[in-house]
Amino acid sequence: MRIGLVSDTHLPRFGRALPRALVNGLRDEGVELILHLGDFTGPDVPALFEAIAPFDAVAGNNDGPELAARFGRRRIVEVAGVRFGLVHGDLGVGQTTPERAAGTFVPGEVDAVLFGHSHIPLVERLPDGRWLVNPGSPTDKRRQPRYSWALLEVDRDGAVHPELRFFDDRRP
C-alpha cells in the first residue's frame, strides 16, 4: 500500500492550486491513499486531493470550523493492519512540534505518528519503535531548502517504509 503524506498547503494563501510537482509525484508514485495533516486553510482544498486518490485528514490550527468539524484534530487511521496517528502538531505537551505530536498518542496506540505544523520534514524512529513523520510543506518551505511531501509504503508484512520527497518549483 502506497500512501501520500501532505501537510501545510495553506491554499489559497500560497497559490490557487496544488503544485504540479506534488500532483505529478503523487500520481507517478501510484499512491492509493492521501493523508493530509492539517492547515489546508481553504475549505475547498480537500477536493483537490480527492480528485487524485482516496483521502483522509485532520484539521490544523489555520483551518476553519468547517474543516475542523469534518476531520477533527486527532484521529487514528488503520491501513493494511498499520495504525497511523494523525495530528497537526500544534496541540499537546512538549517544547517542540515533534515532542507534542509524539505525546498525542501513547506508545502502543499507533505504529506511526504523522504530523505537520512546523513545515520541517522529518523521518525518525522513536525508541519505542514508532515512526515519527512530518512531510514538510509542498507550498511554504519557510527556512527549508526545498518543498516536500512524504511517501509511506506499507509492505505485505506490515512494515512501514517512509521516504521524503523534495521538489523546487511550487507552480501549478
In a domain, 18, yes or no: yes
- Is 9 contained in some domain? yes
Determine the Cα–Cα distance for residues 84 and 93; give it in Å rounded to an integer: 20
- Cis before 12? omega within 30: yes
Name the residue range of residue 59's domain: 2-167
What is the pLDDT at residue 18? 98
Judge whether 105 lies within some domain.
Answer: yes
Predicted local confidence at residue 136, as pLDDT: 99
Q: How many distinct structural domains can be found in the chain? A: 1
| Domain at 72, CATH number | 3.60.21.10
- Continuous segment of H or E residues that includes residue 158: none
| Any domain includes 172 | no
Instruction: Give the whole-angstrom CA distance, residue 7 versus residue 9.
Output: 6
Residue-level pLDDT, tens digit, the chain, 172 residues: 999 999 999 999 999 899 999 999 999 999 999 999 999 999 999 999 999 999 999 999 999 999 999 999 999 999 999 999 999 999 988 999 999 999 999 999 999 999 999 999 999 999 999 999 999 999 999 999 999 999 999 999 999 999 999 999 999 9
Pairing of strands 33-36, 160-167: unpaired
**How far apart (Å, rounded) are the C-alpha atoms in residues 69 and 23?**
26
